[in-house]
A and B are shown apart, each in its own frame.
Chain A
Amino acid sequence: MNNLYDYPANDMEREKASNGYLMSLLAVMVGLPFPIVNLLASMLFYFSNRKSSWFVRWHCTQTLVSQLTLLVVNAVGFSWSMAILFGDETLSNKYIAYMLTILLFNLTEFIFTISAAVKVRKGEHVEWWFWGPLTNALCKPPKETTILS
């Protein structure tokens, strides 16, 4: 079997995979001003589950790579804000536009994450645009699973 859509995830796997998404949500709420917190939480969860089943690893990886992408855009926003507060930058239309853009992206990611957490908890497989194919490239099915198919 090399298709997670047909993977019969058991209850524990569903819970772990769903928790991966919830972990990133919790981190978003706690560490919204500090983008690194989200990534750290996802990384922590990813490493603690790297020996879990393919289903769990796959979803933890999808969470991690999506957080990594968000980290980049959020870090730019964070640095820009710091430069305005403590440096030479001034409040500008471009800054507000950038902050609104990343807010929109974070909000979209937030909604997708809640939806994924719910679906994965029900045992459904969810692949996001860009991060899904990227996760497929990074998280290969274990050999024994492939043989079984």
Chain B
Amino acid sequence: MKKILFQFVVLAIVFAAAFYGFSKIDFMKHLHLQNISRKTENKIGDLIIEGIRKSNKEIDDDSVTHVLTVIKNRICTANAISPDDITIHLVLSGEVNAFAIPGHHIIVYTGLIEHCDSVTELCGVLGHEMGHIQLSHVMKRLVNELGIGILAAVASNGNSQVVGQIIKILSSTAFERKQESEADAISVRYLQQARINPTGFANIMQKLADMHPDTPKEMEWISTHPDSKKRAETTRSLINPDQHNYKPVVSDDEWETFKNAATAK
């Protein structure tokens, strides 16, 4: 019996040593795996932006989008994310919607801005979408729905029909419940780290949940984020009650100016 145990331990050590030795090699770098996937993702992201721009106008006036940049920088800096890694696009549309797309882009429709009563509500939504990006939910979902082959083909030949299908998937269908919960939790964490009051995030979900029975078609962020009421409660439970060192993101005047400018376009 001792012999068996001894030989088993030796075998386990050999296995562990081989695994340890191999894990010291940076395969992702040497095989350019990260680069390939990120390159493909960026290409798909660019095609989607192009597709959205064909049907909707993007607001790229810095004086309007300045508030979005301030929010992004504040959240990213506090959470060790490079602000240059994420691009937020403000798109003119009546839809109450925001969604992450490949290539670390976030699309925010002006309809959502109109429904936000405070800047912290918008911060919560953006934190949630950043969460989807950081947890690689977007690409995982596209791989699940379309497969790696189709995505690689789209990246190389830019099939506009498939790009349209991708936009539809990302803007009007929900992530898995688990992924939504993860993005909610990460949003609360990001906001607290950035000293932004996360109550606004719970509030917007509650507000959208209250609207739910008569949800018009353009309320996409509600239909793609089901169980908003329950999630608002869960979000509230995740907020650290002892944290009070929240700081304003922008002044009330700046917020109102931004909201008016974005929704007047």
Contacts and interface: CB of A to CB of B under 8 A. Distances in A.
- Interface residue SS majority, chain A: helix
A145 interface: no
A88 interface: yes
B210 to A, nearest CB: 31
B14 to A, nearest CB: 9
A67 B90 CA distance: 58
Contact of B26 (A93, A98, A101, A104): A93
Contacts of A129: 7, 10-11
Interface in A43-92: 73, 85-86, 88, 90-92
B1 A101 contact: no
Interface string B251-263: 0000000000000
Interface in B1-35: 1, 3-4, 7-8, 10-11, 15, 18-19, 21-23, 25-28, 33
A96 B27 contact: yes
A96 B22 contact: yes
Contacts of A94: 23
B140 interface: yes
B136 interface: yes
- Interface residue SS majority, chain B: helix
A92 B136 CA distance: 13
B7 A100 contact: no
B25 A86 contact: no
A93 B25 CA distance: 7
Interface string B166-207: 000000000000110000000000000000000000000000
A105 interface: yes
Contacts of B33: 91
Interface in A15-53: none
A66 to B, nearest CB: 11
Given A133-B4, A134-B4, A93 B23 contact: yes
B15 A133 contact: no
A97 interface: yes
B28 A92 contact: yes
Nearest to B18: A101
Given A91-B28, A96-B27, A130 B7 contact: yes
B144 A97 contact: no
A130 B9 CA distance: 9
Interface string B130-147: 000001100010011000
A93 B27 CA distance: 6
A92 B23 CA distance: 9
A104 B144 CA distance: 30
Contacts of B135: 88
Given A93-B26, A97-B21, 10 more contacts: A88-B179, A90-B136, A91-B28, A93-B23, A105-B15, A130-B4, A130-B7, A130-B8, A133-B3, A133-B7
Interface of A: 73, 85-86, 88, 90-94, 96-98, 100-101, 104-105, 129-130, 133-134, 137
13 contacts: A86-B144, A92-B28, A96-B28, A97-B21, A98-B22, A100-B22, A101-B22, A104-B18, A129-B7, A130-B7, A130-B8, A133-B3, A137-B1
Interface of B: 1, 3-4, 7-8, 10-11, 15, 18-19, 21-23, 25-28, 33, 37, 135-136, 140, 143-144, 178-179
